[in-house]
Amino acid sequence: MTKLVIHPELIEDPQILIDICPFGAMELTDEGLSINAACKMCKLCVRKGPKGAVTVEEDAVKPSVDKSLWKGTAVYVDHVDGVIHPVTYELIGKAREMAEVIHQPVYALLLGNNVEKQAHELLHYGVDEVHVYDYPQLARFEIEPYTAAFTDFIEKVHPSSILTGATTVGRQLAPRVAARMKTGLTADCTILKMEENTDLSQIRPAFGGNIMAHIKTPNNRPQMATVRYKIMNAPEWSEEESGTIIEQSIDPKKLTSHVEVLDIVKKPKEKMIENADVLVVAGRGIKKPEDLAMLEELAELLGGQIACTRPLVEAGVLPANCQIGLSGRTVRPKLIITCGVSGAIQFTAGMNNAETIVAINTDASAPIFKTASYGLVGDLYDVIPELISKVKEQRKAYV
For the cut 90, the answer to whether the pLDDT of residue 164 exceeds it is yes
What domain range includes position 359? 273-397
Structural domains in the chain (count)? 3
pLDDT of 245 reads 97
Please report whether residue 260 resides in a domain: no
Kindly tell me if the per-residue pLDDT of 232 is higher than 70: yes
Task: Assess whether 318 and 358 both reside in one domain.
Answer: yes
The SS3 call for residue 274 is helix
- Identify whether residues 240 and 340 lie together within a single domain: no
pLDDT at 336 > cutoff 90: yes
Say what angle helices 380-397 and 292-301 make with each other, to 10 degrees.
30
pLDDT digits (tens, 9 = 90+) for 188-219: 998 999 999 999 999 988 776 677 889 999 99
pLDDT for 72: 97
Is 267 inside a domain boundary? no
Query: Of the candidates 32, 58, 84, which is a domain's last residue?
Result: 58
Statement to judge: residues 9 and 102 lie in one domain: no
Tell me what pLDDT residue 328 has. Answer: 87
Is residue 262 in a domain? no
Task: Give the per-residue pLDDT at 261.
Answer: 84
| pLDDT at residue 309 in the model | 95
Question: What local confidence, expressed as pLDDT, does residue 209 receive?
Answer: 63
Q: How confident is the model over 364-386, as a mean pLDDT?
A: 94
Does 210 reside within a domain? Answer: yes
Q: Comparing 94-103, 268-277, 349-358, which segment has the lowest mean pLDDT?
A: 268-277
At which of 229, 255, 281 does a domain end?
A: 255
Q: DSSP string of 68-79?
A: GG---EEEE--E
Q: Assign 398 a pLDDT band (cuts: 50, 70, 90).
A: low
Q: Based on the domain organization, do 137 and 116 belong to the same domain?
A: yes
Percent of the chain with pLDDT over 70: 97
pLDDT digits (tens, 9 = 90+) for 60-103: 666 678 999 999 999 999 999 889 999 999 999 999 999 999 99
Q: What is the CATH number of the domain that holds 40?
A: 3.30.70.20
Of 28-32, 74-78, 206-210, 323-327, the range with the lowest mean pLDDT is 206-210
Segment 7-21, tens digit of pLDDT: 999 998 999 999 999
**Cβ contacts of residue 339 below 8 Å, gap of 6+?**
280, 281, 282, 283, 285, 286, 295, 360, 380, 383, 384
Q: Tell me if 305 is assigned to some domain.
A: yes
Sorting pLDDT into bands at 50, 70 and 90, what band is 3? confident
* Mean pLDDT of all residues belonging to the chain: 92
CATH number assigned to the domain comprising residue 193? 3.40.50.620
Q: Please tell me which residue, 394 or 126, carries the higher pLDDT value.
A: 126
Largest Cα–Cα distance in the chain? 94
pLDDT band at 184 (very low <50, low <70, confident <90, very high): very high
Instruction: Tell whether 123 and 151 lie within a shared domain.
Output: yes
pLDDT at 58: 79
For residue 266, is it within any domain?
Answer: no
First CA to last CA across the chain, in angstroms? 70
Q: What is the pLDDT of residue 393?
A: 87
According to DSSP, residue 62 is labeled P
CA angle 177-180-182, nearest 5°?
105
Check the CA dihedral 276-277-280-284 and report its sign.
positive
Give the model confidence (pLDDT) of 292-302 as tens digits: 999 999 999 99
